[in-house]
Amino acid sequence: MEVLPQLSQPTATPLARSTQPLLPFHASKKKINNTIFSAKLETKDKDDHYYREAMKRACLHPMFTDPYIRCLLPPIIETEQAQILNKHCLATKFIDDKLVKTMQKIDAFRQVVLLSDGMDTRPYRLNWPLSTILFDVSLDRFYKTSTKKLEGVGAKIPRGCLFFHVPSETPNIQQALRIKGFNGARPSLWVLQGLPVSSLASFKDILCVVSNLAMKGSIFLGELADDWLFETETGIKSTIMECMDKLFMSHGLRVEMIGYDEVAGNIGKESVKDGRENILFVAEQLQFSDDQMELWRREFQRLEEDGDEEGFEEL
């Protein structure tokens, strides 16, 4: 059944290395707003303009098809949430298309890290290439609940692919990913959508992890919620963009910001204004990962030792 997808929960010369973040992703104690999950569409609102528009987008011309999301949604959804869902659908469509096209274009991308809300259906519904390794970093309690529901409706990881879950509560995310098999000496795709990021400090922690683990040339894309964006500056959009550019670059990532209107226009849709100032982004890793640096260090050490042995033999 074609339905609206689940709303994200509050949904060269190496540069200087960042240190392991002091706190895991969930470090901020700011309360997460869960009111969006009380959504329902009531029959008495059938004449409402937004209701009609939402049904038109969802039923006649859906942005994408998610056969599993129904089991994760409440039975009914409030009319006033249709605008928020519109932007979430645009973000999901944008991320899906970018993932699929990148992996089709570049065979080397076979590692995908999903920084999610624990209810991401991408591992089950996207057509992943053979040998793709998927890592889901999310709150453990939400992941366990959603996994049971997804398994109950027959959702399965594609054959030939591997899937691992890393609780976002884990004190050392980098180590946990490595233990699960993540290899920083191979290209990777990182997706941020849904993982609660309630402060600028929390997002910096995420950037630190991506910067340290992602091989040079890897891609980091996703959606930044407006809950904390205005911490960066006065709230002026152009200024926020400049601050985000500097923030990403300080972690060795070159970023491009994309507007929802642009995404909507590319697929023949309209972006409904909902008062939020979320940002879509795509960033490229410009520096070497920690694993790459370690490989270079070992190679240089080996060459030095070989040189010492040759010099000793000549003597």
Provide the domain limits for residue 292: 49-307
User: 26 falls in which pLDDT band (50, 70, 90)?
Assistant: very low
Asked if residue 8 is part of any domain, the answer here is no
Asked if residue 141 is part of any domain, the answer here is yes
User: 51 falls in which pLDDT band (50, 70, 90)?
Assistant: very low
pLDDT at 231: 62
Task: Report the percent of the chain where pLDDT is more than 90.
Answer: 50
Asked if residue 7 is part of any domain, the answer here is no
3-state secondary structure of 268: coil
207's tokens: 């950037």
Q: What are phi and psi of 261, to 5 degrees?
A: -60, -40
Asked if residue 25 is part of any domain, the answer here is no
pLDDT at 44: 41
Amino acid (one-letter) located at 153: V
> 6-10, 122-126, 233-237: lowest mean pLDDT where?
6-10
Sign (positive/negative) of CA torsion 69, 6, 75, 41?
negative
CATH number of 190's domain: 3.40.50.150
Give per-residue pLDDT as tens, 168-207.
999 999 999 999 999 999 999 999 999 988 888 999 999 9
Give per-residue pLDDT as tens, 111-139.
999 999 998 999 999 999 999 999 999 99
Give per-residue pLDDT as tens, 302-314.
888 776 556 545 5
Asked if residue 72 is part of any domain, the answer here is yes
Number of domains in the chain: 1
Asked if residue 33 is part of any domain, the answer here is no
Residue 33 in this model has a pLDDT that exceeds 80: no
- C-alpha–C-alpha distance, residues 187 and 217, integer Å: 7
Asked if residue 41 is part of any domain, the answer here is no
Asked if residue 232 is part of any domain, the answer here is yes
